[in-house]
A and B are shown apart, each in its own frame.
Chain A
Amino acid sequence: ETGVTQSPTHLIKTRGQQVTLRCSSQSGHNTVSWYQQALGQGPQFIFQYYREEENGRGNFPPRFSGLQFPNYSSELNVNALELDDSALYLCASSLGRGFEQYFGPGTRLTVT
C-alpha cells in the first residue's frame, strides 16, 4: 500500500506568479486536507476536501483554492504569490472525516 505522495518536492516561484501543488492520497482515502507550515511554526489548516467537495476552510484568502478529483487526489492552487507564502505545504489523507490522518512528505515552496 503506497502512502501519501506530493509533488513537486521543492519549487521556487516569483512574487505574483501562480503555483499548483499536487497530492495523491493513500489508497481508499476519500478525505484530503492541506496545511501550510511556515518556518518555525506549527502547520495551519488551509482547507479540506471530502468526496470532491470542500468541507471546511481555515483562515486563508480566496487566492488559495483547491480541487479533489474522482480518484481522490487533490491540488492546491495559489494565485498572486506573496513572499509570506513561502512555506512547507503538507497534505494529509484519511479514510473519512474522523479517521486518523496520514501526512505526505510535503512541498517546499520558496517565493522570491
Chain B
Amino acid sequence: ELKVEQNPLFLSMQEGKNYTIYCNYSTTSDRLYWYRQDPGKSLESLFVLLSNGAVKQEGRLMASLDTKARLSTLHITAAVHDLSATYFCAVDMAGTGNQFYFGTGTSLTVIP
C-alpha cells in the first residue's frame, strides 16, 4: 500500500521567516501534487510536479520533486499571515490514473 508522510504535522512560524515542508512517499509515482486547504473549505491546487527534478514557484511558495528519493518539498519564503492553512501533498500512484493518496497534512500558522 502506498504511504505518504508529511512533516512537520504542525508548523508555527513568524512572518518573514523561511521554512520547508517535506513529503515522503513509499512507491513509484507518476506525479505529485500540492494542495492548500482553509478551515471548512475544499482543496485548492497549488502545484503539479510531473517529473524528477521538477521545480515550480508561485509567489512565496516553491515546490520540488525528487522521484529517486521519493521526496517532495514545499518551501515557504518570507511567510505572511495569509499563508496560514493546511497543506497536503498527494501522490498519484503509477498506473492508477488519478487515484490520489494524500499525506497527513501540515497545519501552518504564520504569526504576525
Contacts and interface: CB of A to CB of B under 8 A. Distances in A.
Contacts of B100: 33, 35, 43, 45, 101
B98 A101 contact: yes
B104 A33 contact: no
B101 interface: yes
A67 to B, nearest CB: 18
Interface residues of B, number: 24
Given A102-B45, A103-B42, A103-B45, 4 more contacts: A33-B98, A43-B102, A97-B97, A98-B98
A58 B42 contact: no
B42 A48 contact: no
Given A90-B42, A98-B30, A106-B42, A48 B98 contact: yes
B88 A55 contact: no
A44 B102 contact: yes
Interface in A63-112: 90, 92, 94, 96-106, 108
Interface in B70-112: 88, 90, 92, 96-105
Interface residues of A, number: 30
Contact of A42 (B30, B96, B105): B105
B52 to A, nearest CB: 17
B43 A58 contact: no
A55 B98 CA distance: 10
Contacts of A40: 105
B42 to A, nearest CB: 5
Contacts of B33: 100
Given A42-B88, A42-B102, A100-B48, A56 B42 contact: no
B43 A31 contact: no
A56 B105 contact: no
Nearest to B35: A103
B22 to A, nearest CB: 15
A56 B81 CA distance: 39
A31 B105 contact: no
A55 B97 contact: yes
A108 B35 CA distance: 19
